[in-house]
Structure 1
Amino acid sequence: MTPIATTADLRESGLSPREILRHCTPTGPWQRLLPGVVLQKPSPPSRLDRLRAVLFFAGLDSVITGADALTRQGATVPLPRHIHVLAGRNTRRAHPGILIERTNRPPGVVHRHGLRLAAPARAALDMARRETNPRAVVTILDAVVDARLCSPDELREELELGSRRGSALVRQALRHLYPRGASMPITPI
């Protein structure tokens, strides 16, 4: 059972707003992570707790993308301070520490650890498109291909389907790292 709950769910279970507030005081057993989202334990939230809270906060159609989605699926990439989430076009929420990107092209979803994660190619490109350092872009693309989460062709396909905004460095890195027609090296497992 996840220790994350919305205040609406807690009220529906029979707790009054006053009781919820009392549980979330500095000396109480719970803590408010985000507006309308409560962690039902006194210990500091883990990254997983934070990811779950962000999904509650951003809405039912939201999906974790970028570094957190890649890390949860097995790639080794650095985690930024913020959590990158994709949400529907009508989402109007915002909060420090959360990068909410509105999209009208929802990604394929992978379910892990009770989370909705963007498919690897989409998550990698969402992360890489925000980079201004060419080496960081190469590191991201290499990480997902090396972890066998997706192929260079899947990255190219996702790049063609997605927004062109921020894609110049990604296109350049893909052409350089994985030229079309070149055979992929096979690494022993």
Structure 2
Amino acid sequence: MTQNTPPSPHTVAAVRHRVQSAAQLRARGVTAAQTAAQCLPGGPWQQLLPGVFLLHSGRATDEDRVHGALLYGGRPPAAARRGVPAQAGPGYGEAMVTGLAALALYGFASAPPTIALHRIDVLVPRTRRLRSTRFVQVTRAAVLPRPQRRSGVPLAPVERALADTVSALTDASTVRRILTEAVRGGHCEPAAVVRELNAAKLLGRPHVVDAVDALLVEGRSVAEGRLYEMVRTHGLPEPLWNVELSLPGGRVLGGVDAYWPEQAVALELGTRSPREDGVVFAADREHLERLGVTVVRVTPAQLREVMAQQAVVPRTAMMAAEDREPAAYVVVLPR
């Protein structure tokens, strides 16, 4: 497996053929005694993990280890638990790869597979009775997230994989590099990462707090770049960028990321910390709109995923300005 290159469907199919769980072998008519005989010294098979077998005698590849880890973490099919032969298949159950190994499979340059796949974190339900063993680290969750699939491999969402990675790291520069790549590479938004880190009770660690500060700065820079692109690509009038609005007497009304003074339309990016974002925006918006200024909000995720649709929002507000009463006079200053 090369860096940033997911396994092909053909490779995945081959891996599933050569790495099998005990339940899958039984479904094919291979008894436990026959499996044990095949795994004797000098035999053609080997035991990769408890209950998981490598059907060749060579060295396990990264793909073998990932598939094996998921088979180990996956719950056997319900039919097999009732004593009915299981159907041959992936057998992953609810298990998914998380942590540094998941980031490697997402293509993070800061998590090269040659290093990350030496330890594979597998996320399973909290009720699973399963121990970490060999190269597999078991992580439990009361509520499992919906996995993302890469060439058939179930991965925890990036923000969850980041939290599980950070929980095992103590080096501040490594944490900062991984979190920054997540945002710069467009894998996820800062707010989602902060929520996961907070849920994992990691925001009390000094090196994590410092990395989060850098993450928010990076996230804002990326979002501003997308906002500039939206304005110029979709033919919006050039606004006044990153300004502060105030009353003539000096009372500050709030800062906005773009302002069209002729139409009295202001735009704010949703890049504040999740704890203050909603409250602060609501207060600023209510104050400005009492003065006749229309305030619209665009989130970084919306700019990334549906930029064209978001360009319609300020354009519509500017068109509607023709039918409104003129806004109160406000002072515009650089922020």
The TM tier, using the shorter chain, reads 0.7 to 0.9
> What's the % identity of the aligned pairs?
28
* Partner Cα separation in structure 2 for residue 167 and residue 124 of structure 1: 16
Q: Which entry has the higher C-alpha Rg, 1 or 2?
A: 2
Q: Out of 179, 187, 194, which is 1:141 matched to?
A: 179
Deviation at 1:50, TM superposition (A): 0.6
Question: Structure 1 residues 5 and 84, CA, compared in 2 at 3 Å: closer, same or farther?
Answer: same
Count, aligned residues: 187
Q: Is the 8 A contact 1:6 1:56 kept in 2?
A: yes
Q: Is the 8 A contact 2:180 2:214 kept in 1?
A: no
Q: Out of 61, 65, 73, which is 1:58 matched to?
A: 73
Q: Which residue of 2 aligns with 1:157?
A: 195
Q: Out of 148, 151, 154, which is 1:113 matched to?
A: 151
Q: Is the 8 A contact 1:4 1:38 kept in 2?
A: yes
Q: Which residue of 2 aligns with 1:48?
A: 63
Q: Is the 8 A contact 2:102 2:155 kept in 1?
A: yes
Question: Structure 1 residues 147 and 29, CA, compared in 2 at 3 Å: closer, same or farther?
Answer: farther
TM-score normalised by structure 1 residue count: 0.87
Which structure would you say has the larger RCO, counting Cα contacts within 8 Å and 6 or more residues apart?
A: 1
Question: Structure 1 residues 138 and 171, CA, compared in 2 at 3 Å: closer, same or farther?
Answer: same
Instruction: Write 1 or 2 for the structure with the bigger share of helix.
Output: 2
Q: Which residue of 2 aligns with 1:12?
A: 27
Q: Is the 8 A contact 2:94 2:125 kept in 1?
A: yes
Q: Which residue of 1 aligns with 2:104?
A: 71
Which segments of structure 1 move beyond 6 Å, counting only runs of 4 or more? none
Deviation at 1:82, TM superposition (A): 1.8
Unaligned ranges ≥5, structure 2 = 1-12, 75-92, 227-335
TM-score normalised by structure 2 residue count: 0.51
Alignment RMSD, CA only?
2.4
Matched, 1:104 2:137: no
* Partner Cα separation in structure 2 for residue 181 and residue 139 of structure 1: 13
Q: Is the 8 A contact 2:45 2:53 kept in 1?
A: yes
- What one-letter code is carried by the residue in structure 1 that aligns with 2:98? T
Deviation at 1:138, TM superposition (A): 0.3
Matched, 1:26 2:35: no
- What one-letter code is carried by the residue in structure 1 that aligns with 2:26? R
* Partner Cα separation in structure 2 for residue 127 and residue 141 of structure 1: 10
Matched, 1:89 2:133: no
* Partner Cα separation in structure 2 for residue 72 and residue 167 of structure 1: 28
* Partner Cα separation in structure 2 for residue 182 and residue 11 of structure 1: 54
* Partner Cα separation in structure 1 for residue 146 and residue 29 of structure 2: 36
Question: Structure 1 residues 108 and 92, CA, compared in 2 at 3 Å: closer, same or farther?
Answer: same
- What one-letter code is carried by the residue in structure 2 that aligns with 1:92? R
Q: Is the 8 A contact 2:95 2:122 kept in 1?
A: yes
Q: Out of 217, 221, 232, which is 1:183 matched to?
A: 221
